[in-house]
């Protein structure tokens, strides 16, 4: 659950991270969530094995997924999530601090995953590597530390944070009645349908009624960190998102950068935000078979 009342940021600067490690190192786990697009030659797990923040464990979104679903890195069943994070030394009361090597790209996906399964004490650490080095702190190299496995209890999928294809169809068929904004995080040319999708078998275009806010509009140059909250407010306002009580569904290619928008929207205080887990990797296949599901152009 996200707290109500006075807003407390879940995005931590380096000082906040170091304070949590100082106050309760035994109950704090750093998670490296580095992941790259299939078109990238880099490998997040390989980079983690080469160097990492001291004591960090690696969260692989291509391992902690629904292995029975052919779509990329769909949310795992609750029991499999619990088993996976338990092996990383994480229990229900652990402070989980998530970072990725790019800065603010794949870590929000893992943040959202923890939130979906009800983990309360989870934070994002943007621009972690640069911040760590700026403080004069050393990275850990060599063999990663092996955590002591623990039991993660009470994992249960929170449907209020996840959108399905059926949810999308309801908005398409009756946008005014649904009262939901669908926000697409993909690049504008992909949204318009002007360029082919990199994954085979996917239509080019976007979900009817959706609006386009490329996730890069919400991040600093180089995707190192989210923009300051006041700048995020301006971005969302410029796209007509001013009422923070209106439900929002974020979508992208496969649910990763939709989670960047999820984090940015929640940081700004939007109350009802869901991620369309299958995103275009699933929707684009459906639209390839049913043109009524597809829109192109502005």
Active site residue 268: no
| 156 vs 206: CA distance, rounded Å | 31
Segments of the chain assigned to CATH 3.40.250.10: 14-157, 160-293
Residue range 173-191, pLDDT digits in tens: 998 877 999 999 999 999 9
Lowest-confidence pick of 8-12, 129-133, 151-155: 8-12
Q: Catalytic one among 64, 252, 260, 293?
A: 252
pLDDT band at 293 (very low <50, low <70, confident <90, very high): very high
| 14 vs 130: CA distance, rounded Å | 10
| 60 vs 62: CA distance, rounded Å | 5
Residue 268: pLDDT over 80 = yes
DSSP-derived letter for residue 292 is: G
CB 88 within 8 A of CB 145: no
Mean pLDDT for all residues in the chain: 96
Residue 203: pLDDT over 80 = yes
Percent of the chain with pLDDT over 70: 98
Residue 34: pLDDT over 70 = yes
Length of the chain: 298
The whole-number average pLDDT for the span 57-66 is 98
- Residue 5 is predicted with a pLDDT of 42
Residue 3: pLDDT over 50 = no
Return the CATH superfamily for domain 160-293: Rhodanese-like domain (3.40.250.10)
The whole-number average pLDDT for the span 152-168 is 98
- Binding residues, by number, are 190
Residue range 211-267, pLDDT digits in tens: 999 999 999 999 999 999 999 999 999 999 999 999 999 999 999 999 999 999 999
- Residue 175 is predicted with a pLDDT of 81
DSSP-derived letter for residue 144 is: P
- Residue 7 is predicted with a pLDDT of 63
Report the CATH architecture of 14-157: 3-Layer(aba) Sandwich (3.40)
- Residue 178 is predicted with a pLDDT of 77
Question: Hunting for tokens 């106050």 — which residue is that?
Answer: 23
| 55 vs 186: CA distance, rounded Å | 34
| 259 vs 110: CA distance, rounded Å | 8
| 134 vs 58: CA distance, rounded Å | 23
Residue 1: pLDDT over 50 = no
Question: ∠ CA(80), CA(60), CA(44), 5° rounding?
Answer: 175
| 112 vs 274: CA distance, rounded Å | 9
- Residue 8 is predicted with a pLDDT of 74
Question: ∠ CA(3), CA(219), CA(236), 5° rounding?
Answer: 65
- Binding residues for substrate, by number, are 190
Residue 156: pLDDT over 70 = yes
Residue range 71-110, pLDDT digits in tens: 999 999 999 999 999 999 999 999 999 999 999 999 999 9
* Selection from 185, 181, 167 nearest residue 263 by Cα: 185
The whole-number average pLDDT for the span 106-122 is 99
């Amino acid at each position: 659950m996200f707290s109500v009342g006075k807003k407390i940021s879940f995005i931590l600067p380096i000082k906040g991270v170091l304070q949590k490690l100082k106050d309760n190192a035994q109950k704090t786990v750093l998670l490296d969530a580095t992941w790259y697009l299939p078109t990238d030659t880099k490998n997040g797990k390989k980079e983690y094995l080469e160097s990492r923040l001291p004591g960090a464990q690696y969260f692989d979104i291509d391992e902690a997924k629904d292995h029975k679903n052919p779509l990329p890195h769909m949310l795992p069943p609750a029991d499999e999530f619990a088993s996976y994070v338990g092996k990383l030394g994480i229990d229900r009361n652990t402070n989980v601090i998530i970072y990725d090597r790019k800065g603010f790209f794949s870590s929000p996906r893992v943040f959202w995953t923890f939130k979906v399964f009800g983990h309360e004490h989870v934070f994002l650490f943007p621009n972690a590597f640069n911040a760590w080095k700026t403080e004069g702190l050393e990275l850990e190299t060599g063999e990663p530390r092996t955590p002591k496995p623990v039991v993660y209890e009470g994992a249960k999928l929170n449907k209020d944070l996840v959108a399905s294809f059926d949810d999308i169809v309801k908005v398409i068929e009756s946008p005014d009645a649904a009262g939901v904004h669908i926000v697409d995080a993909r690049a504008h040319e992909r949204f318009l349908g002007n360029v082919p999708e990199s994954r085979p078998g996917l239509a080019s275009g976007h979900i009817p009624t959706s609006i386009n806010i490329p996730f890069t509009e919400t991040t600093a140059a180089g995707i190192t960190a989210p923009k300051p909250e006041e700048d995020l407010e301006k971005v969302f306002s410029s796209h007509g998102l001013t009422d923070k009580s209106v439900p929002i569904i974020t979508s992208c290619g496969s649910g990763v950068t939709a989670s960047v928008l999820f984090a940015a929207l929640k940081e700004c205080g939007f109350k009802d935000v869901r991620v369309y887990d299958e995103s275009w990797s699933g929707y684009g296949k459906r639209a390839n078979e049913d043109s009524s599901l597809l829109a192109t152009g502005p």
